[in-house]
Structure 1
Amino acid sequence: MKTESRGNTSISLQDPTLFTAPQSSLPGALRGCLGSLDGACIEKLLLHCASALESHDVTLAQQVMWVLNNVASSLGDPNQRLTSWFLRALISRASRVCPTPMNFNGSSALQRRLMSVTELAGYVDLIPWHRFGYCASNSAIFKAVEGYSRVHILDFSITHCMQWPTLIDALAKRPEGPPMLRISVPSWRPPVPPLLNVGSEEVGQRLANFAKFKDVPFDFNVIEDPSSPTTVAAISKASSDFHFDLLLSKLDPSILNLRDDEALVINCQNWLRYLPDEQNVSGSSNETCNSRDAFLDVIKGLNPRIITVVDEDSDLGGSSLTSRITTCFNYLWIPFDALETFLPKDSDQRMEYEADIGHKIENIIGFEGVQRIERLESGFKFSQRMKTAGFTNLPFCEETLREVKFLLDEHASGWGMKKDEDMLVLTWKGHNSVYATAWVPCGFEDSGV
């Protein structure tokens, strides 16, 4: 029996009590997919399983899972590896939504390992998924703060300030000398990978040591939320709930100690998607708003010099399970395929990276309501949101494009970039993967960044 495990997780994907469907009992359309590794056929199977779960047809769901299990393999080709994580997500969902419990061995909930800072650096360098955004944003920020002797960055990101050493190094080399650099981060972060084995204060101290080495005056601040967990272990297990109104109240010029002579930079890296996007009735006027729009309204009032936003270019927040499966399957094959080009099938580094993608798949497919925190919107939709909120796009300049191209030349030949109307987009074999954008409140436009 093949058992897949990670941490304290153990799922017997060939447990006969789970996958009991004989081939002869399957609908003809599903029997035709037996043994197939074709992506379109796998997608069809996933949709059949989702429909069966939504209609509480446990028998059909188990039959389809049986077929999927004959395709899935955590050590196979990219399609097989991706399928294994979708199968876990469907089992996780089935265990909660089916009126008749589906028998399986163990739980599909993923236990995440805390990384060291060195391991996180290797994680970020593996493929340009994060570094693309760092490079584009840092180049835009560097140009936007030219001539300023003080720079204050409000950093909303999930990668624990890994972006900033490169910018600190660039600022140290300015002909006019480095500015006084201040970085502020919220104490709350979404409970998603990558997770670090040290807290924000130690991250800040490491940045301060690097800035001192580069002779860049530096200050690091944590925007405290009394409700946030204080230990690393507690943070790693935190729920997706957080006091959004309290966070907004902390984004006040007096609390942040904003100065008229400093360039304020607001940086959002893979972060806005974790703000709830449901429309809620607000105030006596019964107007509808949501947390993302409320956040954008608050930061616009801070009059930032530049706002940089980077995220994955896909729509994964739909209310329909079947639409999420289709979009997710046809998008998240990209990192699985990219890793195939240079890492062995049994590479621990590869499997750990894929497990973090699996964490995302399980949340997108396995959960609903407030428990589903992965609510990504595409770059196009986000651009429309920014324009509606009163922001103007700043186009990336040729120097930024050259820097990004130089970065991508360090990676596999399948990576590329293209300029859309408001975005710079990282592509894999021509498919959009990550977008980078830069914005200012309307009326503060520059020629480009």
Structure 2
Amino acid sequence: MRAELKGKTSSISVHNSTILSRPHSSLSGALKGCLGSLDGGCIEKLLLHCASALESHDVTLAQQVMWVLNNVASPVGDPNQRLTCWFLRALISRASRVCPTPTPTPMNFNGSSARIDTRFMSVTELARYVDLIPWYRFGFCAANIAIYKAIQRCPKVHILDFSISHCMQWPTLIDALSKRPQGPPSLRITVPSFRPSVPPLLNISTQQIGLCLSKFANSKNIPFQFNVIDNHNTSIDPSSLSLEEDETLVINCQHWLRYMLNEEEDDFINATKSLNPRIMVVVDEDSDMSDSSLTSRITTCFNYFWIPFDALETFLAKDSAQRLEYEADIGQRIQNIIGLEGKQRVERLESCVKVSERMRNGGYLNVPFCDDVEAELKALLAEQASGWGMKREEDTLVLTWKGHNSVFVTAWVTDELAR
């Protein structure tokens, strides 16, 4: 899909008499036309070949392909090489679980130096992380303006925030509300106690985040409350929300739905609809990695996660610690998507088309974004590398890298409010 772009980034010799002295016949077929120049398209073919070998329990072939991939993988190479490191690690991890006999692990795998450590950031580090590329800020910006417009003359506002980004979007909205011509509303933000254990991770508690927001809101003379509701998964219990009749309800859902099973996602959407919010904003990554087929997930995953790897290449040095840490967080996701199955696989990303279909089936109607949103997003992207762009697909706004969809933003109202 993106081989034509990825192919420009590397030309790696793989002539190695030890590895390929007696290649498996199927391996020879996989390498046909690739020797001497393993570009993105050839790497993708090898990854698929390895996945097929693992699914058919062909340990010998799987190991041979891994050896070839190891000659490409480098944690400090070009985007293809760095991405290959994480796929190689995921495939080795998968092989250790799914093969009927122990799979000999080749020595000195280049991918072995790419470590995944649990990394907890300070608030300052998280702010730098969010600002690195517009992956999060694009959704923050669009959602905040849409919410601001939706609650324009509302004296009391309650935001239910389902997000993995630790409330990082709210200071900007609080500041905007403090300058509202008719005066700021009283604001209540409610967040769930449970959060998927996925990057980015913060070194302070949710309650401490609330205290920070409270201090900021007080400095802006906005009456503010921060509530944490007890929950044990990504679902929602309407009875725990303490909703008040005179407050306007907003639901913010950023990079959240993908951590639910299909039936849980539908239940969540139905539960939010029963609350009749003034607006619900849904932001997520525009790719489909929910397929049960490993080969399908590899193809989608390789072509999608190439985007942040390539974007980071444009402005960070190959050995930049910040770059390596960001890539390691993506690597953790790759390992979950490729290396695990069943309930252990928590990453179940769905495309914008699928998510929108779920929202409509749940009784929501898609609403367009105003021109102000597009203007603000264009200003945001003007500060970024030249490869970032934005497009409108019907009522959806999409962040793109070199023309390829990365993150989508949608706004929804219940069919009752639309009448």
**Same fold flag (TM > 0.5):** yes
The CA distance in 1 between the partners of 2:20 and 2:183, in whole Å, is: 73
Contact kept? 2:164, 2:195, Cα under 8 Å: yes
The CA distance in 2 between the partners of 1:394 and 1:262, in whole Å, is: 22
Contact kept? 2:114, 2:328, Cα under 8 Å: no
Matched, 1:309 2:282: yes
What amino acid is aligned across from residue 29 of structure 2 in structure 1?
A
What SS does the aligned partner of 2:317 have? coil
TM-score normalized by the length of structure 1: 0.85
Contact kept? 1:92, 1:109, Cα under 8 Å: no
The equivalent position to 2:258 in structure 1, one of 263, 273, 292, is: 273
Q: CA deviation at 1:36?
A: 2.6
Contact kept? 1:89, 1:108, Cα under 8 Å: no
The CA distance in 2 between the partners of 1:109 and 1:55, in whole Å, is: 28
Residue number in structure 2 paired with 1:151: 157
The equivalent position to 2:391 in structure 1, one of 393, 418, 421, is: 418
Give structure 2 stretches of 5+ with no counterpart: 1-16
Residue number in structure 2 paired with 1:91: 92
* 1:255-312 C-alpha deviation (Å, 9 max, x unpaired): 32212221101000000100112xxxxxxxxxxxx11111111110111010000000
Contact kept? 1:34, 1:67, Cα under 8 Å: no
Residue number in structure 2 paired with 1:293: 266
What amino acid is aligned across from residue 101 of structure 2 in structure 1?
T
Matched, 1:132 2:138: yes
Matched, 1:352 2:325: yes
Give structure 1 stretches of 5+ with no counterpart: 1-18, 229-241, 278-289
Q: CA deviation at 1:380?
A: 1.0
Alignment of structure 1 residues 84-233 onto 2, 5 Å: 84-104=85-105, 110-225=116-231
Residue number in structure 2 paired with 1:248: 236
The CA distance in 2 between the partners of 1:380 and 1:313, in whole Å, is: 9
The CA distance in 2 between the partners of 1:107 and 1:80, in whole Å, is: 13
What SS does the aligned partner of 2:280 have? strand
**Identity over aligned residues, as a percent?**
66
What amino acid is aligned across from residue 130 of structure 2 in structure 1?
V
What SS does the aligned partner of 1:25 have? coil
The CA distance in 1 between the partners of 2:415 and 2:18, in whole Å, is: 61
Contact kept? 1:154, 1:267, Cα under 8 Å: yes
Residue number in structure 2 paired with 1:234: none
Supply the RMSD in Å over aligned alpha carbons. Answer: 1.7
Contact kept? 1:152, 1:265, Cα under 8 Å: yes
What SS does the aligned partner of 2:202 have? coil
* 1:200-234 C-alpha deviation (Å, 9 max, x unpaired): 00000011111111111111000023xx5xxxxxx
Matched, 1:263 2:269: no
The total of aligned residue pairs comes to 395
What SS does the aligned partner of 1:182 have? strand
Residue number in structure 1 paired with 2:368: 395
Residue number in structure 1 paired with 2:407: 434
The CA distance in 2 between the partners of 1:443 and 1:345, in whole Å, is: 53
Contact kept? 1:21, 1:62, Cα under 8 Å: no
The CA distance in 2 between the partners of 1:67 and 1:387, in whole Å, is: 46
The CA distance in 2 between the partners of 1:424 and 1:430, in whole Å, is: 13
Contact kept? 1:394, 1:445, Cα under 8 Å: no
The CA distance in 1 between the partners of 2:132 and 2:392, in whole Å, is: 24
Contact kept? 1:270, 1:311, Cα under 8 Å: yes
What amino acid is aligned across from residue 28 of structure 2 in structure 1?
G
What amino acid is aligned across from residue 48 of structure 1 in structure 2?
H
TM-score normalized by the length of structure 2: 0.91
